[in-house]
Chains A and B, each alone.
Chain A
Amino acid sequence: MTGSHAAGSEVFNPLVEEAVASLLARQNVVVQEASFSGAEVLPTPKSICFMGVENKSIEELGDFKDQIYQQIDTMLVQSQSFQPVSRRVVESALQETRMRPDALLIPENMRVFAAVLERQGQPLNYLLYATLTSGTTVNNKSQQRDYMLTLELVNVNTGAYDKQAAEIRKGYHKTRAGKLWHYNPFVRES
């Protein structure tokens, strides 16, 4: 269903698919190159802690947020490059440490958090953050909104990070004339 004044599944689904697929493709290459030593050895899945989707866009995600979370989590599981830590375990560790997800990027906090997870039998290699942002351009009774989903993958051991973003533009028009005037086959309209 297309949202008439806010993004819906037609925006979020391709955003998630594109961003996660690109990130996984790149990470897969890195992992395979690192593991190549002549003999064929299947890479061990890296333990990843998906910290959730942070909504920094102008719109409320409502019930979409958990759906986006589940979509990303499912793609990670299916990739076989990563082994995600259960969301319940993550929340339980956050509760125990009383840390905010964004505070984990501080090395000391990251070590404490990783130690808690390790105690629960979940050693940690990576942290993954997803952020949804938007930018709006208004023109009389029409507006155009760019949605961007950014994935940030942080290596807990080295602190190195990888980043992948996907973007979608959507036009919202209050009049049919506006819809016609701003018609662009590469932009989603409603």
Chain B
Amino acid sequence: MSRRSVEWLVLFTLALAAGCSTHAQRVRVAREQFYAGNLAQAAELFQEQIERHPADADANALDLAVIQLLDGRPADAEQTLRVVRDNFDHLEQSDAVEYGISMVTDDQRLAYAGANHVKILTRVMLALANLMDDGGDAEAYSLQVNAKQQELLQRATGEQAGDVQLAFAPLAIGPYIHGMIREATFNNYDDATRAYHQVVSWQPGFQAGKADFERARTGTHSRPGHGVVYLFALVNRGPVKEEVAELPTTVALLVADRILSALGEYELPPTIAPIKVPRVFVPPRSLDSVGLVVNGKFVGQTETICDVADLAARQEEVELPNIMARAVVRRVVKKAAVYAVKDHLEVQEPLVDLAMTAAGVVWEATEAADTRCWGLLPREIQVLRAELPAGSHDVALLPVTAGRPLSSGPQLRVDVHDGRNTYLLACFPNTQPIGQVLQRSH
């Protein structure tokens, strides 16, 4: 083998090595800016990432949408989320060429199609964003939450169907929003009753669900001269993906063996060194809930209607064996490619052999885990319903920790309209809120 060939091989390896940082590393500063409350800077950084890394554009757009929403621009957030939702739906069809490229590079080369729970949560956040705007499409989005779940469930076949069913245990927030909207029409209590029945069945721990169900079944939306305030709170920092090196599990090796058998010319080696995989990491909880104080009186505190962290963890359980299997296959393919080149070029010189082996090691080492995810989602989406007399009220939102509300929190004036819903949306990644408290009546 000529010296020039070796130089080309090394250059090729270095070219692959370029840009092997993970998504998590690239957006770390932008996320830090968000949690520091610098929404404008965070938005700018995510926008920069969208332009610089087109393959990560949708993952970054999801985070950008959260910033737009909390910056008081729900219409922009809805528009951003709608584009991502449509892209995800489009990317549900797999691309063989792209998959082939990912086999010699890493999963980051695959277009980001969003994890299944992200597809569902996109619709949840669309519903919330729309509620904070004109509210005209919120009901449609709420119906799409369950429709998408059903679609994903029906698509799951084979051995993993059971796991997938567990991972996609229906989300109560979809019917909750649907029931909330239908109840406010004063004419569709049957829909509201059905929706709240689903909430109670799917999330028995949601205590307010029982009262909602009873009210929809036998009562009315609100007493005369009263309106209803719904406080939606995005509580605690949500799950993110981090790169870790792990030994492949037995299940992953089994899946990898099947893929290799399908490829035909490769075999699974007896041992595999640790591989880089993305794992879900959930930051520690900072607060339990958010308390609502109206005109100086504590009215109640929010309850979890959607546990995002739990959803992400269940999703990971289903996806991880496949991700590991792909990493194992990639390693086998890369090793086989290096040996094939050596054989083909009949490498005799020890130095060249060493150089090629080193290039192979670098090639493997350049691989990075696909940590693309919706990192600015909260750990929990919580809600509180409060019936209040129509009129203007002084409202304070207080973070609740260890069962006790803290003394300070955002304060605002809330207008409650007779027989109508007023929606509030606040984000508490920790005891300090981020962005604006949004308010809208429909």
A residues contacting B by CB (< 8 A) are 51-52, 54-56, 60-63, 65, 87, 90-91, 94-96, 98-102
Taking a contact as CB atoms under 8 Å apart, the answer to whether A91 and B186 are in contact is: yes
Where chain A touches its partner, the secondary structure class is mixed
From B147, B186, B221, B418, residue with most partner A Cβ within 10 Å: B186
Q: In the complex, A83 Cα to B367 Cα: how many Å?
A: 70
**Interface 0/1 of B136-169, CB less than 8 Å to A:** 0000100100010000000000000000000000
**Provided the pairs A63-B140, A99-B220, A100-B220 are in contact, do residues A55 and B187 lie with their beta carbons within 8 angstroms?**
no
The answer to whether A56 touches B223, judged by C-beta atoms less than 8 angstroms apart, is no
CB distance from B420 to the nearest CB of A (A): 8
Bound-state CA distance A62–B414 (Å) is 32
- B190 touching A55 by the CB < 8 A rule? yes
Q: Tell me, in angstroms, the Cα distance from A91 to B143 when the chains sit together.
A: 22
Bound: A100/B221 CA distance, A:
9
- B residues touching A (Cβ–Cβ < 8 Å)? 140, 143, 147, 185-191, 194, 220-224, 418-419
A98 contacts which chain B residues (CB < 8 A)?
Answer: 186, 220-224, 419
Shortest B404–chain A CB gap in Å is 36
Question: Which of A56, A65, A101 is in CB contact (< 8 Å) with B189?
Answer: A101
Specify which chain B residues have a CB less than 8 angstroms from the CB of A87 in the assembled complex. Answer: 187
Q: How far is the CA of A179 from the CA of B187 in the complex (A)?
A: 39
Please state if B187 and A101 are interface contacts (CB–CB under 8 Å).
yes
12 A–B contacts from the bound complex (CB under 8 Å): A51-B187, A52-B188, A55-B194, A56-B190, A61-B191, A62-B143, A63-B140, A87-B187, A95-B221, A98-B186, A100-B220, A102-B189
Residues of A within 8 A of B189 (CB): 100-102
Q: A95-B419, A98-B220, A98-B224 are in contact. Are A65 and B191 (CB under 8 A)?
A: yes
A121 to chain B, nearest CB (A): 20
- What chain A residues lie within 8 Å of B419 (beta carbons)? 95-96, 98
Q: Residue of B at shortest CB range from A65?
A: B191
- Bound state CA distance, A56 and B191, in angstroms? 9
Which residues of B sit under 8 angstroms from A96, Cβ to Cβ? 419
Residues of A within 8 A of B143 (CB): 62-63
Which chain B residues lie closer than 8 Å to A65 at the CB level? 188, 191
**Chain A residues with CB below 8 A from B191, complex form:** 55, 61, 65
Of chain B, the residue at the smallest CB distance from A4 is B154
Residue of B nearest to A93 (CB): B186
Residues on A with C-beta less than 8 A from B222 are 98
Q: A55-B190, A62-B147, A96-B419 are in contact. List 7 more A-B contacts (CB 8 A).
A: A51-B187, A52-B188, A65-B188, A94-B187, A98-B186, A99-B220, A102-B189
Task: Say yes or no: A60 contacts B186, CB within 8 Å.
Answer: no
Closest A residue to B143 using CB positions: A62
Most chain B CB atoms below 10 A, which of A61, A91, A100: A100
CA distance A112 to B287 in the complex (A): 49
A54:B147 contact, CB within 8 angstroms:
no
